[in-house]
Amino acid sequence: MSSAYIFNSERLGFRNWQDSDLKALATMNADPRVMEYFPSTVDEVETAKFIARMQAEFAKHNFCYFAVDLLSSNEFIGFIGLSNKDFEADFTPCVDIGWRIDPDHWGKGYATEGAKACLIYGFNTIALTSIVSMAPKINKKSIAVMKKIGMQFEAEFEHPALLNDERLKTCVLYKIESNES
């Protein structure tokens, strides 16, 4: 299976999405623990649209929120990667780094390890000059990963897609430049 990987980290393989990923990602997206910092869980139809968007983004830009497997077992554990963001904000358009990991694999450092590998890929292979990450201010676990991978706090902002959600609308923006990674 390793030939299907675009790049690897020590324990993870990063690849484009396959239709066979739908059930596993839909199960994750239906889990309230996984979606705690989103307005709601996501059904299988929306998950399929997400996978199609990621496949199209990869075809156009050579990056996306990559499907991620454990190299030791080829088990799909979620996604970690890069995605273009163009919603209305003073820092867009930009490239965001993000992650979503199956709860069975939380607490093992996969998000940090994978995000570091994605920064290297983004800066060295794609030649990006800066990468941002954003999350609701209350999402302390994601903010901790942002800090661990060397990102610096840039701003607090109200996310236009979350304005109707008092709990989630205030977000933080972290950033890293290519010369900092």
Residue 40 lies in a domain: yes
Q: What is the pTM of this model?
A: 0.95
Residue 43 lies in a domain: yes
Residue with tokens 């430049």: 177
pLDDT of 156 reads 96
Residue 116 lies in a domain: yes
pLDDT of 4 reads 84
pLDDT of 1 reads 40
3-state secondary structure at position 59? helix
pLDDT digits (tens, 9 = 90+) for 79-114: 999 999 999 999 999 999 999 999 999 999 999 999
Residue 50 has pLDDT above 90, yes or no: yes
Residue 3 has pLDDT above 90, yes or no: no
Please give the full DSSP string across 103-155, using - where no structure is assigned. Answer: GGGTTSSHHHHHHHHHHHIIIIIS--SEEEEEEETT-HHHHHHHHHTT-EEEE
Q: What is the mean pLDDT of residues 142-166?
A: 96
Closest CA to 27 of 108, 104, 96: 104
Residue 131 has pLDDT above 90, yes or no: yes
C-alpha 145/C-alpha 148 separation (Å) is 5
Q: Could you tell me the residue range of the domain that residue 48 belongs to?
A: 2-128
Residue 135 lies in a domain: no
pLDDT of 124 reads 96
* DSSP H helix total and E strand total for the chain: 4, 8
Residue 179 has pLDDT above 90, yes or no: no
Residue 136 lies in a domain: no
Residue with tokens 């139809």: 45
Residue 146 lies in a domain: no
What's the domain count of the chain? 1
CATH number assigned to the domain comprising residue 105: 3.40.630.30
Residue 81 lies in a domain: yes
Please provide the distance, in angstroms rounded to a whole number, between the alpha carbons at the two ends of the chain: 29
